[in-house]
Structure 1
């Protein structure tokens, strides 16, 4: 029985504070949409691919051991690509006005499991600059790895290109609005229950029973102005009649 009453009170509170909940939810959605579309700077992403292999003669045949060695070297190459030795040269070639740390944060190096292909992805506010950074990084790495590790086993498979009407990878306004919708609704519900918990005013006889722990024996009905004015008119009419009769 208590669970039924609690559930009814729960829905009663939600219904009572429905305007507040909807207002908080709509406000959160509006703020998220305005910030996503008008204040956040679009970020574009381009990527290039390089292949790590062994330099061999045309008649040579790859062995499983050599492929495994290449796979183990990829982790080392991933670190070298984002090293200061490579990025400083990239900055000089492109005349970038940023620190090496900032350039490092724009570059992401990934390789698929058991694959000799390495993806170099770059995110930047300018899609063309992102493509230039990706391509230059791959070219500098291909050139410098010969001196760094005394190997010549890097091939550029695909260069980064800027697509026509390329869409930014972030922000994602629709995703942000969906998250704001959920968060705003939860915040509204939480605020509604908080206000209900802090509200200790007595509004009806049920609140009196809960507060003093005693049953209500009677209730004084509230008389509206129309009924009160009507009763006053009746009393005046009766008084006039008595006066005239006397």
Structure 2
């Protein structure tokens, strides 16, 4: 049975309670998962800036910048085990270098002298400490390796008064759950209607059976009997002592 727009609207009207109920349950579950199951994660970002040196190993600075070699060097030094292990030792972290690397994101844009280090952690203050320690370690190790002071900390990460987690985003998740459940509810309602073999209208009867309708029998509700109806009361005999 194919459903046109008019029939679809009729289906939605008949099954609106199911559709909206499913959406409400989905939003409630998404909210509970966001607030009570998923752990919040916070971000902190520190930035470094490159000061132009006179030359690097006989190669002009502009040539290095144009080829992208210096930019790649910045990122590799920041994410090197030498820097990562130094951060772990400085802060007394119990994590491994591999696990800590999964928490950081280093971005060095082309044609830019600024590199950003973003750290994600379950605690806002810990994310700030790790980001700042990465900046200090990256500056120290890069200057030692390159033999010249050209990498400096531009901004340290700061702890906000009321830090907001970057994930999960409860309202976003609840909105997505609402839309998904609404679409699923409509789809299920149409599916139920498709497999429902009962005849609900004269038009549906004519279309499916291809026979004319000679007449209809209206549904009559059974009337309640009045309390004073003698037929509805039971007689009794009183005995005197």
TM-score (norm 2): 0.80
- Residue 111 of structure 1 corresponds to 108
Deviations 1:185-212 (A, max 9, x none): 1111111111111212234433332332
- Residue 48 of structure 1 corresponds to 46
- Residue 90 of structure 1 corresponds to 87
Instruction: Tell me if structure 2 keeps the 8 A contact 1:52–1:74.
Output: no
Superposed displacement of residue 22, structure 1: 0.5
- Residue 162 of structure 1 corresponds to 159
Q: Of 64, 67, 81, which residue of structure 2 is paired with 1:69?
A: 64
Between Structure 1 and Structure 2, which shows a larger proportion of helix residues?
A: 1
Distance 1:53 1:67 in 2: 12
Distance 1:29 1:85 in 2: 46
TM-score (norm 1): 0.79
Alignment RMSD? 2.5
Deviations 1:71-126 (A, max 9, x none): 62113311331232321221122121112222111101113442101111111011
Q: Name the CA shift for 1:224/1:157 in 2 (closer, same or farther; >3 Å).
A: closer
The runs of 5 or more residues in structure 2 that have no matched partner are 226-241
Taking the TM superposition and a 5 Å limit, the aligned residue runs for 1:125-164 are 125-164=122-161
Distance 1:177 1:218 in 2: 50
Structure 2 residue matching 1:119: 3-state secondary structure: strand
Instruction: Tell me if structure 1 keeps the 8 A contact 2:103–2:120.
Output: yes
Superposed displacement of residue 152, structure 1: 2.9
Q: Name the CA shift for 1:51/1:223 in 2 (closer, same or farther; >3 Å).
A: closer
Which of structures 1 and 2 has the bigger CA Rg? 1
